Structure 1
Amino acid sequence: MGKPRKFDRNIIVIGAGAAGLVGAYISAAVKAKVTLIESGNMGGDCLNTGCVPSKALIQCARVAHSARTAERFGVQVPEPEINFPAVMAHVRKSIQEIEPHDSVERYSDLGVEVVRGRARLVDPWTVSITQEGSEEHRLTARAIILATGAEPAVPPLPGLDTVNYLTSETLWDRFAQLDKAPSQLLLLGGGAIGCELAQAFARLGSTVTLIERAERLLPLEDHEVSAAVSRALESEGVQLLTGHEAISFDGNNDGLGGALILRNSKGEIQVTFDEIILALGRRARTGGFGLEALGIVQDGKLPVDGYLRTRYHHILAAGDLAGPYQFTHMAAHQAWYAAVNGLFGSIKKFAVDYRLVPSAIFIDPQVASVGLSEDQATEQGVAYELTRYSIDDLDRAIVDGAATGFIKVLTVPGRDKILGVSIVGENAAELIAEFVFAMKQGMGLNKILSTIHIYPTMAEANKFVAGNWKRAHAPKGLLRWLEKYHRWRRG
């Protein structure tokens, strides 16, 4: 089928996760005729199986940990009793209370036509929509945004089909059926998801083993960040098996629990479990949308250019499907470019700005970073100066019992221009925002130092690390002259 002379829509968006919702809203805001198609739950993975439920679970675990450690503040409380069904009820309630933000009704009010059904591209301009209980119908569009997200990666390990394994998508329904947290929980994968869930379930009463093939947790983070996270998890009873590769599974006959064979530098070991969660990353969700027939997908991946365009420039992708970062805030960021380039790309197009992509890991203490880490700068041959501030010296952290962590700032040698920041500490995900803003606006550490920060707050740590940089770059010659001047003034 050739390109239509007329189109039913200006733009069609497939997928109502973060990228799809933002892309559809932006399109409607500039008065385009837009249809948003979703076959599952509105809000996508983030609302239903990702960010929202995991952070609700983490908060429950944090409350339990606070009760368990209250004695350090002079408060005597008994060992907390974990009502696991109530924990899972809080998770469900959190989703339900946020659902209206992503609902069909809200986006319809914003001018988006929302269609619940399965979408498939039958040619580069035509989308087939299959709805339950009705016949297929088709719409044409001048531009199409693919925002189908990603799904948990499941490795082809021998024996995996003999165990009732879980992923970040399936664990919520499974654990909602349990009276208590799993006794022996195995987590395969030491990235952000694995670390967050390991700490949360350990605090909720599980005996947790976390396995990572690399020699350290969070291998993409700064090495000191990785070490700090390992210490935090081990201090709460999580068994860490880094440098261990999964070889095969052996499930129990009843389908519950099993054993995993691991290989390390010394040989093979076996670990048993009641429940196992695979946290091995996520892969683009490309199947079932007609993308292979159009030649858009290659080896399970969907290549896009700097403008988020596929091989057909009017078909764009955003969010986890497009990569390279699988963050909700990146999905929303890309959605603006996808919508604008889809609607106005023939006049003016915009390349996605990936220069400053902050990230956070919501363990305790939190981890946050932006720009280059020390390891990345070294690998890339980028010259840098390193300035540190230890949060155990911060007044607010001391009184809050959160005197753990640090801030590392990389700057251009001899200048206050920020190349990257890594933070470990209470509210690190909030603290990083000031550095992201400064880097975005081209401001250096001197500007942060000259900004008043409320006392006592965790945010003062940002000012203090800037002060450490300033002291290291004090004009020694001028200071010697001033010393002589003041001596002369004393007579």
Structure 2
Amino acid sequence: MSKPKKFDRNLIVIGAGAAGLVSAYIAAAVKAKVTLIEAGAMGGDCLNSGCVPSKALIKTARVAQQVRDAARFGVRLAAPQIDFPAVMAHVRKSIADIEPHDSVERYTDLGVEVLQGRAQLVDPWTVKIALNAGGAQTLTARAIIVATGAEPLVPPLPGLERVGYVTSDTLWERLANLQQVPDKFLVLGGGAIGCEMAQAFARLGSRVTLVEMADRLLPQEDSDVSDAVQRALSADGVTVLTAHQALAFDNNETQLTEAGSVRLRGPGGELELEFDHLLLALGRRARGSGFGLEELGIVEDGKLYTDPFLRTRYPHILAAGDLVGPYQFTHMASHQAWYAAVNGLFGDLKKFAVDYSLVPRAVFVEPEVASVGLNEQQAKERGIPYEVTRYGIDDLDRAIVDGAAQGFVKVLTAPGKDKILGVTIVGENAAELIAEFVLAMKHRLGLNKLLGTIHIYPTMAEANKYAAGNWKRAHAPEKLLRWLERFHRWRRGQ
């Protein structure tokens, strides 16, 4: 296992999802000789089974809901008719239209060598690739980035293996064969994926039941956020069962079928629910097996450990993206990719610890949920003192005329100061509105600076300014104002 004196490549990247693609791009941009290896489809989970198809489906579901709501605006339309094969055609077209951004051709043009095949680390500097087209190739590299992503969690529940369940990875293949929207649709898991898909399928006409073992949906968010999302899902016809645990599945058949039933235990005892389709949305775990990581001791007991610079036990082998966590977001994978590429190529000269201080996140239900920095739950857990300022979006002119007068902006600040500790927004376009706060926090701009910034009227973005205004009113200089009151009274000659 001696280190080679010469290397075939400066960098080998394993996995062509967001982390792998960005890592390879950066390496090529600084003129390193880089090889990117992917056994499956370019673009990884985000393009092929995650962000892109789910948001395409969500958009269709929102259009259907807008048709139902049109009468509120004086436009009378017939109830929407869901052409489900056409819906899935829109999903596939969305993927196809974005595919060129992540294609072999594009990255080859950027200077990246792309090999399609299965990579295996045979020693700390050597990667063997079983090529999809046949044959094998072996390459050495001075640095290696492992970006193999994550896979859905499938719990060991009795009977589950006989039920034709789907995950976020396999859902789209199953849907492609359906001629109509699923009827009785069961979603297990009340996180972001579960909530998004439950609302989307309900709006497309499915009878949806969402089961969450915790006491509330989106348990990592504050309780007021969970309450707002549950109200929205219930209004769209989703039956939400929190504090319910799945015990076992049955399909009354000796062979695999899509339909079945689940036995649940909840506060009121046990109950049984039937379903035609089952989606498991219980989170994702790192995909670290089968790449030689265990044999090298990089993965131990199913866990991969990295230092703050994304280096494994071998400093020249780094990892990025969902494989590493702790945030399994596409934008975090891209963020980590810069550190992995720079530390892999230049780490012996200068290395950089990953900045996790500002990681925005969003849940694309309606109303949307977006947050950055601390929420109240996290601040309490960490013992960080804070003040809360709220602005209700139901008071916002643009939200009122758009029929979107629901939600809030909640800002956590240091006591007595305008320093922003965290922001949560629930409302239309929350994932867009949060960007202003991310920028402000990144550059240490407080609420006073936000308040002094002109926002176009009427826009949803004014909600951010009005939240800052509420903070200002709550921290008005009372002594100065009393003096000014006396001054103006004197000026009136009274």
For this structure pair, what is the TM-score category when the shorter chain's length is used for normalisation? over 0.9
Equivalent position amino acid for 2:216 in 1:
R
Partner of 1:465: 467
Partner of 1:185: 185
Correspondence 1:14 to 2:24: no
Query: 259, 262, 266: which is aligned to 1:260?
Result: 262
Partner of 2:38: 38
Partner of 2:104: 104
Query: 295, 300, 316: which is aligned to 1:293?
Result: 295
Correspondence 1:422 to 2:438: no
Query: 307, 327, 330: which is aligned to 1:328?
Result: 330
Compare 370-379 and 5-14 and name the one that shifted more.
370-379
* CA–CA separation in structure 1 for the residues paired with 2:393 and 2:301: 46
Query: 312, 315, 323: which is aligned to 1:313?
Result: 315
Compare 8-17 and 128-137 and name the one that shifted more.
128-137
Identity level (%): 72
Partner of 1:50: 50
* CA–CA separation in structure 2 for the residues paired with 1:268 and 1:390: 39
Shift, 1:186, TM fit: 0.2
Contact conserved, 2:165 with 2:258, CA < 8 A, in 1? Answer: no
* CA–CA separation in structure 1 for the residues paired with 2:411 and 2:10: 45
Contact conserved, 1:158 with 1:249, CA < 8 A, in 2? Answer: yes
SS at match of 2:211: strand
Shift, 1:265, TM fit: 2.8
* CA–CA separation in structure 1 for the residues paired with 2:57 and 2:86: 11
Contact conserved, 1:162 with 1:252, CA < 8 A, in 2? Answer: no
Structure 1 residues 85-107: Cα deviation after superposition (integer angstroms, max 9, x where no partner)? 00000000000000000001111
Name the count of aligned residue pairs: 491
Shift, 1:133, TM fit: 4.0
* CA–CA separation in structure 1 for the residues paired with 2:192 and 2:151: 15
Q: Which runs of 4+ in 1 moved over 6 A?
A: none
Equivalent position amino acid for 1:439 in 2:
M
Pairwise mapping of residues 417-456 of structure 1 onto structure 2 (< 5 A)? Answer: 417-456=419-458
SS at match of 1:69: helix
| Structure 1: unaligned runs, 5 residues or longer | none
Shift, 1:252, TM fit: 3.8
Compare 131-140 and 454-463 and name the one that shifted more.
131-140
Partner of 2:215: 215
Compare 133-142 and 169-178 and name the one that shifted more.
133-142
Pairwise mapping of residues 3-402 of structure 1 onto structure 2 (< 5 A)? Answer: 3-253=3-253, 255-402=257-404
Q: CA RMSD in A?
A: 0.7
Equivalent position amino acid for 1:7 in 2:
F
Contact conserved, 2:185 with 2:276, CA < 8 A, in 1? Answer: yes
Equivalent position amino acid for 1:406 in 2:
F
Contact conserved, 2:389 with 2:470, CA < 8 A, in 1? Answer: yes
Contact conserved, 1:368 with 1:424, CA < 8 A, in 2? Answer: yes
Shift, 1:123, TM fit: 0.3
Contact conserved, 2:413 with 2:420, CA < 8 A, in 1? Answer: yes
* CA–CA separation in structure 2 for the residues paired with 1:69 and 1:132: 50
SS at match of 2:298: coil
Shift, 1:378, TM fit: 1.3
Equivalent position amino acid for 1:178 in 2:
L
* CA–CA separation in structure 2 for the residues paired with 1:245 and 1:125: 46
* CA–CA separation in structure 2 for the residues paired with 1:139 and 1:228: 53
Give the TM-score normalised by structure 2: 0.99
SS at match of 1:269: strand
Equivalent position amino acid for 1:203 in 2:
R
Partner of 1:409: 411
Contact conserved, 2:142 with 2:316, CA < 8 A, in 1? Answer: yes
* CA–CA separation in structure 2 for the residues paired with 1:452 and 1:256: 55
| Structure 2: unaligned runs, 5 residues or longer | none
Contact conserved, 2:39 with 2:132, CA < 8 A, in 1? Answer: no
